[in-house]
Structure 1
Amino acid sequence: MHHILAAALCGAAPAAWLGGSVEAQAQTPSAPAAASRGAVIGAAVHVADLSKSLKFYRDALGMRVMAQFNPPSSADKSRPDTVLNFGNGPADTMLMLLGDREAGGPRKIEHGFGFARVVLRLPNLALVNESLRAHGFPAGEIKGAHGTVTLMMLTDPDGYTVEIIQG
């Protein structure tokens, strides 16, 4: 059932990562035509210290800065936001880091029950661990899951759980 749900929500490729199949996707009802033009663009997370988060996501994990809004050097002192992804353009799924410019320094990020984790895919988890250590972050435990997936779980500088799937 878990694999059928993954196929229904995410398509054949993610279902296959979880040990599912393309056949599972065929069991789902057809979506309205308008839904087929939609896409998940990405996720946005609040960060207390943008420079620490960039060190983690950009420097250690290899994401690219696609855009910055109100960087620290700008005259506009509103919230600095940074858009990251692994690709070469805006059509790729992104992660937006929502900075904090509160008087008195960064606030501690409070985590609620609703948000579980950021999930990324990288080709070589052993190399990811080397990069994490080189940039001063703890390495993750590489383990198997669902019989066909190799992954590791990390914690970013703001306490968000980051799952990295090898693939």
Structure 2
Amino acid sequence: MNLPNFLTVIRLILIPFCGYALYNDHFLQAGVIFVMACITDYADGKIARKYNMVTNFGKLADPAADKLLLLTALFILAVKKLIPMFIPVTVLIKETIMGIGGLILLNKKYVVSANIYGKIATFFFNTSVAVIIILKPASFITNTLLVTSVLLMFVALAKYSHQYFKIKRDLIEKQAKEDPLVR
């Protein structure tokens, strides 16, 4: 197992500890664990790209760990009424849509890479969650970060959707050229 994949596994292991600490009102511990997990997310990607250590495991496990970490924290914050429930529900719906689209493309041997809007939205979500965990009560700043995160998430979803439908169209055109009966 290479270092980026090891960091991803560490992040997966940290998720239940973060969730447990957050649910039991150990906000400082939850904040430290959440930030540590976010740092492993940043580090594993940088190392994998810089040292050509990208693996199929990493391509699947890294984004899954990111989503699980964020959704765990968001749902617990919503259950504790520190953020509105529509935020984690919206993120879950978006991730489900993207996951289904990604599986369809993966079945066709395509992997859609993260776009800049998705990365920025993730940064905003992680920052706002860390601030809420550490400072507890939501404030104008954290609410602004959360709203910005949701808006960026929708921009990212629109970009991913455009990319998805372009790939699907290209696949249909390619198949039509290879098999005239498809037309």
Q: TM-score, normalised by structure 1?
A: 0.24
Task: Specify which structure has the higher proportion of helix.
Answer: 2
Task: Specify which structure has the higher proportion of strand.
Answer: 1
